[in-house]
Amino acid sequence: MKEGKQMTNNIFSKLPNELFYSHEPNKSILEETKIKDKYNFKTLFILDYLYMNTNRRNIVSFYLKDMITDCGYKYNTRKNESYDQFKYILCKLQECKIISSNINLLDIKTSDKITCTLDINLDNQFSILYDRDKNKILNQIIDKTIDNKNLLVYFCYLNCKMYKRCNGDNIQVSGGRSEVCFPSFKLINKELGFVDDTIDKYNIILINLDMIRIANAGLWYYQDDPNKSLKESCNIYALYTNDEVTKLNLDEGVKYYKKLDINSNKVFKGTQKYKNNNRILNGELGAIVKKEKHGKATKDDIIRKNEILASTRPDEQKYKIKALLDAHPGELLSCVNESYSDKYYDLEESLGLLDEHIEDKLADGITYDNYRWVMINYKLNEHQKFVDWVKNKKIPEKKKGLIRKVI
Model confidence pLDDT, tens digit, residues 62-89: 999 999 999 999 999 999 999 999 999 9
Look at residue 407 in the predicted model and tell me its pLDDT: 28
Q: What is the pLDDT of residues 76-131, one digit of tens each?
A: 999 999 999 999 999 999 999 999 998 888 888 889 999 999 998 888 789 999 99
Nearest by Cα to 162 from 195, 209, 125: 125
The mean of the pLDDT values for the chain is: 85
Look at residue 286 in the predicted model and tell me its pLDDT: 78
With beta carbons less than 8 A apart as the criterion, state whether 141 and 159 touch: no
Which of the 8 DSSP states describes residue 363?
P
* More confident position, 308 or 10: 10
Look at residue 312 in the predicted model and tell me its pLDDT: 62
Look at residue 193 in the predicted model and tell me its pLDDT: 93
273 — pLDDT class (breaks 50, 70, 90): low
Look at residue 401 in the predicted model and tell me its pLDDT: 40
In order of 136, 139, 163, the CA distances from 151 in angstroms are 11, 11, 21
Q: For 167-259, where are the alpha helices, taking DSSP H only?
A: 171-174, 185-192, 196-208, 243-258
Q: Taking the model in full, what pTM does it have?
A: 0.79
Q: Is 90 exceeded by the pLDDT of residue 168? A: no
Per-residue pLDDT averaged across 165-172, rounded?
A: 64
* More confident position, 281 or 398: 281
H-helix or E-strand spanning residue 324: helix 316-327
With beta carbons less than 8 A apart as the criterion, state whether 387 and 351 touch: yes
Q: For 71-115, where are the alpha helices, taking DSSP H only?
A: 82-95
- Helix, strand, coil share of the chain (percent; to 5): 50, 15, 40
Name 31's Cβ contacts closer than 8 Å, sequence gap at least 6: 22, 39
Q: Is 60 exceeded by the pLDDT of residue 53? A: yes
* CA gap 98, 119 in Å, rounded: 5
CB-based contacts of 158-164 (< 8 A; 24+ apart in sequence): 158/183, 158/206, 158/212, 158/237, 158/239, 159/127, 159/128, 159/129, 159/239, 160/15, 160/17, 160/19, 160/20, 160/21, 160/127, 161/20, 161/237, 162/127, 162/237, 162/238, 162/239, 164/127
Q: Is 80 exceeded by the pLDDT of residue 318? A: yes
Per-residue pLDDT averaged across 263-292, rounded?
A: 74
Look at residue 399 in the predicted model and tell me its pLDDT: 40
C-alpha angle 333-161-141 in degrees, rounded to nearest 5: 155
Which of the 8 DSSP states describes residue 21?
-
Nearest by Cα to 28 from 166, 220, 259, 188: 188
Look at residue 287 in the predicted model and tell me its pLDDT: 83
* CA gap 252, 259 in Å, rounded: 11
45 — pLDDT class (breaks 50, 70, 90): very high
Which amino acid is residue 341, in one-letter code?
Answer: S
* CA gap 99, 49 in Å, rounded: 13
Q: Is 90 exceeded by the pLDDT of residue 268? A: yes
Conformation bin of residue 230: beta by default, left when phi > 0, alpha when psi is -120 to 50: beta
In order of 218, 355, 377, 386, the CA distances from 348 in angstroms are 35, 10, 13, 11
Per-residue pLDDT averaged across 158-179, rounded?
A: 75
403 — pLDDT class (breaks 50, 70, 90): very low
Per-residue pLDDT averaged across 126-142, rounded?
A: 92
Q: What is the pLDDT of residues 324-365, one digit of tens each?
A: 999 899 999 988 877 677 888 889 999 999 988 888 899 988
Q: Is 70 exceeded by the pLDDT of residue 395? A: no
* CA gap 83, 21 in Å, rounded: 27
C-alpha angle 213-214-217 in degrees, rounded to nearest 5: 150
